[in-house]
A and B are shown apart, each in its own frame.
Chain A
């Protein structure tokens, strides 16, 4: 009887230790991905292509600027260039540590800057497969992480990382399963779940080393239900350009000409 109890305890301890290790390793991997060097600042000339069976593709062109001030404080400015009816539209975001952020939209046709609800998570960003939540920084501590194993994406090895929100209210997704390439510390694929059901797949199509920083320069997001696709292409990426916080001020948001000199040719 004592022997049986001994084996039972050992098995429990073993299972517990595996589970604890998976969680610990999962969090450590998530932290490494989060801490992955991505420059103090970045400038991206990007395109968004929306594709849907039976419809003509639609294009959006943007320039985005990001500055990491450290301590969880990140500033970003997205300037829309195309289509013409949104030319000059600007989205300024100041992310603070935790779930706090300020967000303003500049409407050139009205010449007005409007604060917009920064806690918005759902809703499709300019008709794409991205939710507003996908555009925002998500800290490691907001999810529980677990390593599920390994997989291969297009011949590249990756580690499966499951992330589940600790507070269900702060995410549209009930679960995300990412396949992290340990070489670049970038996700090659992310499967998202909503209310327990698979909803979208993010796939990295091209990863480039730019200024010694691994960067996804082409990715595809597919809505599993509608088969609608969003292709995100970074045409030009620049890191560590010495961007100043003044670029992320209202003066620039309200005057698109002022960020033109920072846009890559």
Chain B
């Protein structure tokens, strides 16, 4: 006869009851206020600074503490306090552990020091409090004969490791001289180019530097050679200075005086707030981004205030952009055909292009600017105020030439007879006020930037004279990695709006451009495919630069690529429409 339908046996019930009693006993036991006399400290600080920081941190949470030195003076500890009840001691231990302090040490009166570390995540206190200093530091049992090294493979001398326990904190003195940058490029037009059968380029840059304490001096120079073959051969070789400056590093600032490249703004391609840098336009846009600027003499003070940076720049002497020499295939003025590739074509302009003297007014005060920027907390931003000149010249026709032309004199005759330059490159001063920001959106980074400029030069359509108008330039860029792999895309949308007023000008009032870069690095950083693009939407202006490069040999790039131009009249794309090239070359960077 069944007397009990319960499927849990009596033994099991007894076991459950026993375990429950044990559990209750353990709770009561740990809650008991046992009388003790103990001190609690956080030990193991190798520097006073660390210990002091811990005290500051503790005091901010209302926990008292003071820095004490160990008797051997080799390390420091933070004394928390004395406790007479174990429950108080354990509560403080728990509190400290929650704040992230694990190296706790207890000293109980009339007993040898006991060292403890709370290692159980669920809050239990390890009963085995007796630990060596080693155990205390590492939080685990240490056998007396434990080695200092666990060697899992035979030691390879080429990869041996030396353990050091101190460091020389003095600034290192360095000096050296090196070839810092070199490039060779051969370009072969794949259309029937009228001006050249090959367009070739060579560049080398050397740099010497020396640091002594807070001072640094850098000197550099470069060599550029252009060699064009074909029916209209052209050779040009030039020496120029590179970044050459004296720098002093203060505790929270750096002062740099000398020739330097300073590129403000946040967008990668043509940032609107990049007003004061000197453009290198000698090969239009064929160079790498880093090589599209030349240094100009400036005084720069960089102040760092926490996560803010206040950047002040003064350029006492203006340096104009480096533009292609007449005769170069990259020149926008074709001496042979008498065409102005990026401007209006009329009998006067054609005569100027064919035989006129062209000069750049690149003297005067270069400008000054101040930029405040901040990084951190998920949002970077900057504000820039500048007074400066566009380094690219705006060409204006000689006024007397214009007057003669309007009065009916033959342009060829007037250009031939004038002794002054027929066309002058001007760089009017402008104010620029801008702001920019960068932050993460989805899996990429969004960059936005805008600038208002007070005086942008334009050419009036009625009298060909230069005027200045206000301009608003802005852009937005997004950089991301499709598929979260090695493909990177950086796409920008740019806009320039000219506030023209009542007169008509030769330039477009509104310009929209999409530009950027698509890059894929694969085969363990051995190969890189890249497409650089600049697509003018209105007016139409296309530049494409696909390139495949072998980058597996450190510091070197061997590349094959194309440069493709196309566009409406007056644009760069149109100017170099017959300059589509297949290129091959080598770049070096040290």
Residues of chain A touching chain B, judged by Cβ–Cβ distance below 8 Å, are: 2-3, 5-6, 9, 27-28, 31-32, 35-37, 40, 43, 47, 49-50, 52, 55, 58, 70-71, 83-85, 87, 94, 100, 102, 104, 107, 109-124, 126-128, 153-154, 156, 172, 181-185, 188, 203-214, 217-218, 228, 231, 233-242, 244, 249-251, 254-255, 257-258, 260-265
Contacts and interface: CB of A to CB of B under 8 A. Distances in A.
Contacts of B164: 236, 238, 264-265
B438 interface: yes
A241 B47 contact: yes
Given A70-B100, A102-B377, A255-B249, A37 B152 contact: no
Contact of A113 (B254, B262, B375, B480): B375
Nearest to A182: B140
Given A2-B7, A117-B480, A210-B163, A251 B304 contact: yes
Contacts of A119: 440, 443
B128 interface: no
A85 B174 CA distance: 18
Contacts of B62: none
Interface of B: 5, 7, 45-50, 57, 99-100, 102-103, 119-122, 133-134, 137-140, 146, 148-153, 155, 159, 161-172, 174, 178, 211, 216, 249, 252, 254, 261-263, 268, 289-290, 302, 304, 306-307, 309, 375-378, 380, 438-440, 443-445, 447, 479-481, 483-486, 521, 524-526, 552, 554-555, 589-590
Contact of A205 (B121, B152, B521): B152
Given A117-B444, A254-B302, 19 more contacts: A36-B138, A37-B102, A37-B103, A55-B552, A70-B57, A84-B178, A85-B590, A115-B375, A115-B438, A117-B479, A154-B153, A181-B150, A188-B152, A206-B152, A206-B155, A208-B148, A236-B163, A241-B46, A250-B309
A261 B5 contact: no
A125 to B, nearest CB: 10
A213 B137 contact: yes
B455 to A, nearest CB: 27
Given A5-B7, A249-B304, A124 B525 contact: yes
B78 to A, nearest CB: 13
A118 B153 CA distance: 35
A234 B150 contact: no
Contacts, number: 228
Given A104-B375, A123-B481, A205 B161 contact: no
Contact of A261 (B120, B172, B262): B172
A240 B159 contact: no
A206 B525 contact: no
B150 A156 contact: yes
Given A28-B120, A206-B151, A240-B45, A126 B525 contact: yes
Nearest to A100: B378
B139 A122 contact: no
Contacts of A107: 290
Contacts of A110: 263, 289-290
A2 to B, nearest CB: 6
Contacts of B289: 110
Given A84-B590, A94-B376, A110-B263, A70 B99 contact: yes
A58 to B, nearest CB: 6
Contacts of A114: 268, 438, 445
B481 A212 contact: no
Contacts of A120: 443, 481, 484
Nearest to B171: A261
A27 to B, nearest CB: 8
16 contacts: A9-B7, A32-B121, A35-B139, A114-B268, A115-B375, A118-B440, A124-B524, A185-B139, A205-B153, A206-B149, A214-B138, A218-B161, A231-B159, A242-B48, A250-B307, A260-B172
A114 B446 CA distance: 11
B307 to A, nearest CB: 7
Contacts of A32: 119, 121
B555 A154 contact: no
Nearest to B308: A250
A209 to B, nearest CB: 4
Contacts of A50: 524
Contact of B167 (A5, A83, A154, A241): A241
A237 B285 CA distance: 45
Nearest to B556: A85
The interface centre, meaning the residue of A94, A123, A234 with most chain B CB atoms within 10 A of its CB, is A123
A71 B589 contact: no
A212 B479 contact: no
A170 B133 CA distance: 39
A185 B47 contact: no
Given A102-B377, A242-B47, A37 B137 contact: yes
A48 to B, nearest CB: 11
Contacts of B307: 249-250
B478 to A, nearest CB: 10
Contacts of B146: 183
Contacts of A183: 140, 146, 150
B152 A35 contact: no
Contacts of B211: 257
A34 to B, nearest CB: 9
B145 to A, nearest CB: 13
Given A117-B440, A117-B481, A249 B150 contact: no
Given A212-B137, A242-B49, A262-B169, A250 B375 contact: yes
Contacts of A262: 167, 169
Q: Top 9 A-B pairs ranked by shortest CB distance? A: A127-B525, A242-B47, A122-B484, A251-B304, A83-B554, A212-B137, A207-B150, A109-B290, A85-B589
Contacts of B137: 37, 212-213
A204 to B, nearest CB: 6
B376 A127 contact: no
B165 A265 contact: no
Contacts of A126: 525
A257 B153 contact: no
A183 B145 CA distance: 13
B163 A237 contact: yes
Contact of B252 (A122, A234, A251): A251
Contacts of B5: 2
Contacts of A211: 46, 165
The interface centre, meaning the residue of B57, B174, B376 with most chain A CB atoms within 10 A of its CB, is B376
B121 to A, nearest CB: 4
Contacts of B166: 238
Contacts of A210: 163, 165
A9 B552 CA distance: 63
B152 A207 contact: yes
Nearest to A183: B140
B484 A208 contact: no
Contacts of A49: 159
Contact of B249 (A36, A104, A234, A257): A257
B153 to A, nearest CB: 5
B481 A242 contact: no
Contacts of A52: 524
A233 to B, nearest CB: 5
Nearest to A116: B445
Nearest to B179: A84
B589 A37 contact: no
B440 A111 contact: no
